[in-house]
Chain A
Amino acid sequence: MNNSSTTQSAVQIPDLGYKPWCVRNLRSRFLSVLAGLFAFLSVLPLIAVLVHILIKGFSSINVELFTQLPPPPGGVGGGIGNAILGSFIVTVIAALIAIPIGVGGGIYLAEYSTGRGFSQFIRFGTNVLAGVPSIIAGVFVYGTIVSTRILFGHTFSAIAGGTALSVLMLPTVVKTTDEGLKLVSNDLRRAALGVGASRFVTVSQITLPKAFTPIATGVVLSIARAAGETAPLIFTALFSPFWPNGIFDPIATLSVLIYNFSTQPYDVQNQLAWAASFILVVFILMLNLLARWLGRIASK
């Protein structure tokens, strides 16, 4: 009709439209949907577990749960007060052992090591220790502390359980301390040394405070992991239907309680296992959110 259309007829207008039925686009869309499906399947278990814990556990939350002892097999009522207290005690023991040693080891790696020889071996060992199955930590503590009765003749005890958990926490704490300190700029170290500070003063007053939040984040996460561990406790801390009786005697923990009660054929016990799961998961998720919050502070 007009001028432009005649000239354009000679040169083909390129067709740049999206062709939904072209093979490559079909394939691309299929794979996107597939990846989405996989992602959905991956989050499904979390939702399912959380929903079931909420339904089954939340209904039995009451005051007795926190204040009473578990009932004998076949009995009714009761709570898990001893296990809550016991989990707390064992986790604190583990933290008291693992945090100082782990932070010290991390300080060595980040501040003193040469990156060769001994320190390379320690870094490697930390990674390997992190991969040791948790049940092996239990076997180890059983072999060194429980069966040898090295602690004043006591066998199964809260302190043995705490030691086993600390073996699992140790590599995490070492790694987070090492990495946290490495994030501190070398300028700051030089500044402190430049005014005549010793290594000890530099680390304790300058670099360690500066790296506090990343280290705290990692430590909180490792505590959260330790609090939920069961395998190392089964034959170190064992279990006890009574209130904790000092740290040299067997002690009840939430995780071992869940394990024991879930396999018993009594509804009351099963119900208590769900309630214990609810409390444990809430506690652990709260620690995780705390760690996340710490991490966010650090990035600001």
Chain B
Amino acid sequence: MTSTSSSEVPDPNLDTCISIQNTTISYGDFEAVKNVFCDIPRGQVTAFIGPSGCGKSTILRALNRMNDLIEGCSLKGRILFDGADLYAPEVDPVEVRRRIGMVFQQPNPFPKSIYENIAFGARINGYNGDMDELVERSLRQAAVWDECKDKLKESGNSLSGGQQQRLCIARTIAIQPEVILMDEPCSALDPISTLKIEETMHELKKSFTIVIVTHNMQQAVRVSDMTAFFNAEAVEGGSGKVGYLVEFNNTDNIFNAPSQQATQDYVSGRFG
């Protein structure tokens, strides 16, 4: 097991936003990902990469307690957000999600108008400012304003897949979370939409901490500052594979000078 401990974070100047401490997540009796240590720095883009089934999405969903929705999913260890344990018994998962927003793999706009898609979350979060301004600002930040400024009253489903995904990003920005989690946000999109979303991310990291799970290594290279490489290994006696964190470092180091052989193999395309 080659987990990197938090002390190995290369730039000690970076302020830690989310700290994953010795976290193990299981579905029922089956361990999906094991003993993860990882300090996600504030105001940066952190990418989780690795082969299928290595538990990177599971870890991501654990960061805003989306795993609560999955039957039989349990977590050991601690996840600290600004020093607060997200899994302390008195923590309200709904409040966690108001501070840590999420963009999902499939674009999933609400069956409401584009305007309402943005306003819905903001209203839930008690936004009392100018809603029109917020909608415009969020859509602009997500780089989808030009495409939908003339049809704000139309259904969110009338947009194309890439536009829908940017609408979903805008929806997440609109609640002004501290962190935005993105679970393979481009996997259902064409290359041009992907590019637009990557552009958006570059701008978003000026205001938000972003954690992104991606299958696409080039995407990790293009958008992220930090990269965590996960791998999966067969467990003795078990039927499935258990995921673990192999290496966490600057994206440059992960792709150009990885310290682990497995990372080297993966980023150079030898497996996965």
Contacts and interface: CB of A to CB of B under 8 A. Distances in A.
Do A and B touch, yes or no (CB under 8 Å, in the complex)? yes
Interface of A: 114-115, 185-198, 201, 205-206, 209-210
B94 A196 contact: yes
Nearest to A116: B71
8 tightest A-B CB contacts, nearest first: A195-B121, A196-B98, A187-B108, A194-B102, A191-B108, A196-B97, A198-B94, A197-B124
B66 A193 contact: yes
A187 B108 CA distance: 6
A190 B66 contact: yes
Interface in B72-97: 94-95, 97
B192 interface: no
Interface in B104-125: 104, 106, 108-111, 120-121, 124-125
B214 to A, nearest CB: 18
Contacts of A186: 69
A206 B110 contact: yes
A189 B69 contact: yes
B110 A191 contact: yes
Contacts of B111: 188, 206, 209-210
B64 A194 contact: yes
B124 A195 contact: yes
22 contacts: A114-B71, A185-B108, A190-B69, A190-B104, A190-B108, A191-B104, A191-B110, A192-B120, A193-B94, A193-B97, A194-B64, A194-B66, A194-B104, A195-B101, A195-B124, A195-B172, A195-B175, A196-B94, A196-B95, A196-B97, A196-B124, A196-B175
Contacts of A197: 94, 120-121, 124
Name A's interface SS: helix
Interface of B: 64, 66, 69, 71, 94-95, 97-98, 101-104, 106, 108-111, 120-121, 124-125, 168, 171-172, 174-175
Contacts of A191: 104, 108-110, 168, 171
Contact of B120 (A115, A187, A190, A205): A205
A194 B97 contact: yes
B110 A192 contact: yes
A176 B124 CA distance: 29
A201 B66 contact: no
B125 A196 contact: yes
B93 to A, nearest CB: 8
Contacts of A115: 71
B240 to A, nearest CB: 22
B102 to A, nearest CB: 4
Contacts of B97: 193-196
Contacts of A195: 97-98, 101, 120-121, 124-125, 171-172, 174-175
A205 B123 CA distance: 12
A198 B126 CA distance: 13
Nearest to B97: A196
A191 B174 CA distance: 13
Contacts of A189: 69
Contact of B108 (A188, A198, A201): A188
B121 A196 contact: yes
B10 to A, nearest CB: 31
A109 to B, nearest CB: 14
Contacts of A194: 64, 66, 97, 101-104, 172
